[in-house]
């Protein structure tokens, strides 16, 4: 090795040592104890799966658009300093369409009003959702995530093979750990089918009138995002060491309890049914 | 739950009615309303009694707290109970948060959302400490509030980032959500907020108490200074999705501090935990060691958690080791070059700072224009960390001459380097000369 090379090597080493020193003490641009960025957060995506088939036309879709516009500001604060909440909306009629090409931060999200037309390709929607619920697609946050909230709203029975779509979804781990809820709008919606989607009847709700629709969407969406955006308070009254099996699906159970509690507290008396007066 | 309507009147326990003006916020246990009572505005916390495990005991406990009174003026303490409705619902009144205070959650987010009354749109407004003194003072205030609470034999139980309001200009602190505070050993069903809960609570083997408060307090302080989660590092991020069982593991059964010196498995991850990586290297070892103690041995041995008084001493020291350099750089002495035993040099601009050594400490306080020491630092019997006892000022007649002004209530004896003694009464000052000695008259001396 020539002397010149030696010098160069030495110089490099000094530079590296200098860089270390810089890193420790002399990086003036970045050593201010007050120059914090926002605390590191976990992320949560709320998926809304919305039926926009022809039968939703008129009052149903109008009411739904209005309540969704109002809902967004209401769930803005649920993440507090712990969670970055994002929203993704998938609509299904004859085709399956995302409102935006990726989940949007709740603070920047603007509802774009939906129109209803066509048939109910729910199975396709399940398949599409499953393909997007992946680290390589919509759930690509580098930080830690909470399992997503998935909220399905429909007024009828699928016109395609929803079982095949549901099977694809059920094989997806994000779906397995996710918080699932469904809203049946009007009397055509099928509870059993919706419970197949959620995995439990407790998180399936119904709306038969405009007032109920607004209320149910808000209660379910707000409750689910509150539970979804926070870690669980796992402790119970037993005072015994908890195991993984004790806490499995604890959030889904809690969501079921809270929704049922809400429904039981509701007065029966609500006004005009969706299925009358058309 | 039974929500209140705007304009609705709620009967108070000892007569009178509180009238609902609007909603302020919602929490896990109920809703907070702005109300008017006896011609004054108050905050009314109104409970969703379905969410409370033993509402009668819970109400009785609040009543006891009202009777005992707040441990200090740092608490937004319950003041008056409402009458209990037939269905058991009730609430209590507390004072409103002054507008000059921001929530700790907003400080962690570094902004708050305010709705512009003109457009109805949410606008982001920055929320940051305006100076380092204020941030360290906020820490001391928080620690001191819990010291006072614990001395009163009570535990907070649900200590988390939602429990504080802070003035970002002064570091003044108000502790809110005081309704779960209970005598140590009692619990009315609250578990706490995940991430802040002691591992033994997460595991299901303990209920909140003074010792678990100490763990939560360490988390709050860590979040305030390092702006991240002390238990969330590589090991946790690898799980990708934080399910209920991974939470039990990472915050309960197998919690590992991100800077555990004996376990590197959970180090902060660049790109995610940049704040923690950046700030950890700025702080002096005695601060880092206290967090290491809290989050390593303190994880499994509650009695080894740092006590409030210890935190208070450490942060009073940290506050006295701040240097605000003329070049605009503000940092702790640990980030300045120590050229000799008594002198610090700014590595950016080269400015040098002499220092003051106190007889009861093994560290020195750097002297710069505007630096201060407090009553508790010159009087062994004082716990007053807010009253400024002395401050470095510029002479009003001779520009450029720096001196220490006595802002305490006592007369000091100062021995100048020429050997002469002078009495410095309150309001007077003396120039900063090397070798000068001050006797504060309460057993503590200092020397430049």
Instruction: Please state, in angstroms and rounded to a whole number, the distance separating the CA atoms of residues B109 and B96.
Output: 22
Chain B's closest residue to A73, CA to CA, is B122
**Which own/partner pairs from A22-31 qualify as long-range (CB within 8 Å, at least 24 positions apart)?**
A23/B281, A24/B281, A25/B335, A25/B337, A25/B347, A26/B347, A26/B348, A28/B329, A28/B347, A28/B348, A30/B278, A31/B278, A31/B282, A31/B329, A31/B331, A31/B335
Residues 6+ apart with CB under 8 A from A6: none
CB contact under 8 A, A144 and B237: yes
CB contact under 8 A, A77 and B272: no
Of A24, A28, A237, the CB nearest to B329: A28
Residues 6+ apart with CB under 8 A from B321: B284, B332, B333, B334, B363, B365, B366
B212 — phi, psi (to 5°)? -75, -30
Give residue A23's pLDDT: 47
What are the tens digits of pLDDT across the range B293-322? 999 999 999 999 999 999 999 999 999 999
CB contact under 8 A, B244 and A32: no
Give residue A25's pLDDT: 46
Chain B residues with CB inside 8 Å of A147's CB? 241-243
Of the CA atoms within 13 Å of residue B285, those in its CB half-sphere come to: 2
Chunk chain B into consecutive blocks of 10 residues (it has 448) and report each block's average pLDDT, rounded to whole numbers: 89 94 84 95 92 87 94 94 91 94 95 83 90 96 94 89 93 92 84 87 90 95 96 95 91 96 96 94 96 97 95 96 93 94 94 94 94 94 93 92 94 91 94 93 91
Chain A's closest residue to B195, CA to CA, is A231
The Cα diameter of chain B in Å comes to 81
CB contact under 8 A, A231 and B204: no
Give residue A278's pLDDT: 52
CB B36 within 8 A of CB B30: no
Q: Is B102 on the interface with A (CB under 8 A)?
A: no
Q: Residues B151, B152, B158, B159: is their CA dihedral positive or negative?
A: negative
Q: What is the CATH number of domain A41-277?
A: 3.40.50.410
Under-50 pLDDT residues of chain A:
1-26, 234-235, 268-270
CB contact under 8 A, A230 and B194: yes
Chain A residues with CB inside 8 Å of B279's CB? 33, 36
Chain B's closest residue to A106, CA to CA, is B122
CB contact under 8 A, B275 and A37: yes
Give residue B115's pLDDT: 80
Where helices occur in chain A by DSSP H, the ranges are 3-21, 59-74, 122-132, 162-170, 173-177, 191-198, 210-228, 244-247, 250-265
Give residue B287's pLDDT: 98
Instruction: Please state, in angstroms and rounded to a whole number, the distance separating the CA atoms of residues B193 and B300.
Output: 19
Chain B residues with CB inside 8 Å of A133's CB? none
Q: Is A19 on the interface with B (CB under 8 A)?
A: no
Between A and B, how many residue pairs show a Cβ–Cβ distance under 8 A?
A: 170
CB contact under 8 A, B227 and A233: no
Of B203, B227, B236, the CB nearest to A39: B227
Instruction: Please state, in angstroms and rounded to a whole number, the distance separating the CA atoms of residues A136 and B315.
Output: 45
Polymer length of chain A: 278
CB contact under 8 A, A235 and B201: yes
Give residue B180's pLDDT: 87
CB contact under 8 A, A231 and B195: yes
- pTM here is 0.89
């Amino acid at each position: 090795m020539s002397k010149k090379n030696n010098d160069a090597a030495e110089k490099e080493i000094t530079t590296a040592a200098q860089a270390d020193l810089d890193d420790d003490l002399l990086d003036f641009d970045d050593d201010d104890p007050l120059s914090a960025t926002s605390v590191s957060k976990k992320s949560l995506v709320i998926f809304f799966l919305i039926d926009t088939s022809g039968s939703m036309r008129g009052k149903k879709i109008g009411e739904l658009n209005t309540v969704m516009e109002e809902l967004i500001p209401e769930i803005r604060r649920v993440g507090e300093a712990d969670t970055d909440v994002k929203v993704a909306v998938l609509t299904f009629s004859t085709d399956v369409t995302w409102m935006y090409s990726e989940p949007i931060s709740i603070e920047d999200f603007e509802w774009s009003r939906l129109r209803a037309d066509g048939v109910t390709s729910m199975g396709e929607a399940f398949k599409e959702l499953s393909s997007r619920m992946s680290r390589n697609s919509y759930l690509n946050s580098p930080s830690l995530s909470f399992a997503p909230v998935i909220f399905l709203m429909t007024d009828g029975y699928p016109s395609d093979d929803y079982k095949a779509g549901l099977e694809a979804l059920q094989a997806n781990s994000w779906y397995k750990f996710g918080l699932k809820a469904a809203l049946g709008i009007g009397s055509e919606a099928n509870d059993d089918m919706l419970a197949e989607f959620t995995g439990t009847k407790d998180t399936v709700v119904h709306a038969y009138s405009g007032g109920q629709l607004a209320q149910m969407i808000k209660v379910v969406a707000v409750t689910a995002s509150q539970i979804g955006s926070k870690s669980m308070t796992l402790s119970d009254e037993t005072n015994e060491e908890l195991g993984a099996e004790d806490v499995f699906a604890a959030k889904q159970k809690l969501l079921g309890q809270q929704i049922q509690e809400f429904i039981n507290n509701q007065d029966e008396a609500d006004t005009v049914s969706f299925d009358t007066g058309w | 739950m039974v929500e209140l309507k705007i304009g609705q009147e709620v009967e108070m326990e000892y007569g009178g009615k509180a009238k609902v003006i609007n909603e302020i916020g919602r929490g896990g246990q109920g809703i907070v309303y702005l109300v008017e009572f006896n011609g004054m505005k108050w905050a009314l916390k109104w409970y969703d009694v379905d969410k409370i495990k033993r509402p009668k005991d819970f109400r009785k406990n609040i009543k006891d707290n009202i009777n005992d009174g707040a441990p200090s003026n740092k608490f937004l303490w319950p003041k008056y109970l409402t009458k209990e409705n037939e269905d058991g619902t009730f609430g209590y009144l507390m004072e409103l948060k002054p507008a000059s205070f921001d929530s700790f959650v907003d400080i962690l987010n570094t902004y708050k959302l305010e709705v512009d009354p003109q457009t109805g749109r949410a606008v982001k407004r920055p929320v940051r400490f305006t100076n380092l003194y204020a941030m360290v003072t906020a820490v001391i205030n928080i620690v001191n509030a819990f010291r006072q609470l614990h001395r009163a034999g009570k535990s907070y139980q649900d200590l988390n980032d939602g429990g504080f309001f802070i003035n970002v200009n002064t570091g003044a602190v108000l502790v809110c959500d005081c309704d779960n505070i209970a005598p140590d050993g009692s619990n009315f069903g609250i578990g706490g907020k995940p991430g802040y809960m002691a591992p033994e609570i997460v595991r299901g083997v303990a209920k909140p108490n003074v010792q678990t408060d100490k763990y939560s307090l360490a988390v709050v302080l860590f979040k305030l200074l390092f702006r991240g989660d002390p238990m969330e590092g590589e090991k946790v991020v690898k799980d990708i999705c934080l399910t209920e069982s991974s939470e039990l593991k990472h915050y309960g059964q197998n919690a590992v501090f991100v800077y555990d010196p004996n376990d590197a498995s959970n180090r902060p991850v660049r790109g995610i935990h940049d704040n923690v990586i950046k700030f950890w290297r700025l702080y002096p070892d005695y601060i880092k060691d206290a967090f290491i103690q809290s989050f390593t041995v303190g994880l499994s041995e509650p009695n080894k958690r740092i006590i409030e008084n210890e935190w208070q001493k450490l942060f009073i020291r940290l506050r006295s080791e701040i240097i605000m350099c003329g070049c605009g750089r503000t940092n702790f002495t640990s980030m300045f070059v120590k050229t000799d035993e008594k002198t610090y040099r700014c590595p950016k601009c080269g400015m040098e700072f002499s220092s003051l050594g106190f007889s009861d400490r093994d560290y020195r306080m750097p002297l710069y224009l505007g630096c201060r020491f407090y009553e508790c630092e010159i009087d062994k019997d004082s716990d007053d960390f807010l009253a400024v006892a002395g401050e470095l000022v510029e002479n009003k007649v001779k520009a450029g001459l720096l001196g220490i002004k006595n802002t305490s209530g006592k007369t000091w004896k100062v021995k100048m380097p020429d050997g002469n003694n002078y009495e410095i009464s309150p309001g007077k000052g003396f120039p900063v000369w090397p070798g000068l000695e001050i006797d504060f008259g309460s057993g503590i001396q200092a020397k430049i």
